[in-house]
Amino acid sequence: MLIAGFPAGPFGTNCWILAPGANSEAVIIDPGMDSRAGIEQVVSEHHLNPVAVVLTHGHLDHMWSVLPVCEGYDIPAWIHPGDRALLADPWAGVSGETRMMFASVVGATDFAEPSDVRELADGSLLEIAGMTFTADHAPGHTPGSTAFRLMQTGAEPLMLSGDLLFAGAIGRTDLPGGDHAAMLDSLARVVLTQPDEMLVLPGHGETTTIGAERRVNPFLQGLADVQRPAPGAGA
């Protein structure tokens, strides 16, 4: 399996590209600001054919380039309906400081939905590019935040956690639409029920595993005793 990722834009948002291998179809996850050149490089280097964009949530640092990427490759974008409105109005989900930060950016207000937007629900199975992604609705960071699990035969299980879970941290809940209680519930329900060996590809920072975060992430410690799965339990 091919997993390529790079941090893009002023927030260092990870854009991930997943494919069964080189010379195959591929899925782009979270094409944020300044991600287009990196996407084109990965696609060219591995001879990939992008067939879909999947968004973990609607914050602008994760969806800034969704319109040009989708239109450029003529592919759909998948997003939870709870965050769909942010595709056309991402400013509704950011702080006043962030608005001011981007006030002078050329084209910063030119947001619109791609021509093909598809909504997903909790538990949806997305069968794309020869891979099956399970969507786990995980509100807290935003109302429509969603993690995606990929369990492929012969490959290690992985989770695209967006801004739900980072190495040693979790996403903030103080932005418009954030909900700390919902975040804790999502962490217990979506994260702590997964096997320790599951690789986590987060929205920011380095990769990690569920097991590592179960052991050392301070935001999970108070939840672990209640939600820890039985040994060997998977998703």
| 235 domain-assigned | no
Q: pLDDT, tens digit, for every residue of 161-195?
A: 999 999 999 999 999 999 999 999 999 999 999 99
| 10 domain-assigned | yes
Q: Which residues contact 157 (CB under 8 A, 6 or more apart)?
A: 149, 150, 151, 194, 195, 197, 198, 199, 234, 235
Secondary structure (DSSP) of 178-220: --HHHHHHHIIIIITTS-TT-EEEESBS--EEHHHHHHH-TTT
Q: Is 194 left (phi over 0), alpha (psi -120 to 50) or beta?
A: beta
pLDDT of 27 = 98
% pLDDT > 70, the chain: 91
Quick one: which H or E segment has residue 101?
helix 96-101
% pLDDT > 90, the chain: 81
Strand-pair category, 13-19 with 77-79: unpaired
| 47 domain-assigned | yes
Can you give the residue range of the structural domain that contains 82?
2-225
| 230 domain-assigned | no
Look up the CATH number of the domain holding residue 146. 3.60.15.10
| 171 domain-assigned | yes
| 233 domain-assigned | no
Give the number of domains in the chain: 1
Q: pLDDT, tens digit, for every residue of 65-107?
A: 999 999 999 999 999 999 999 999 988 888 777 777 766 664 5
| 149 domain-assigned | yes
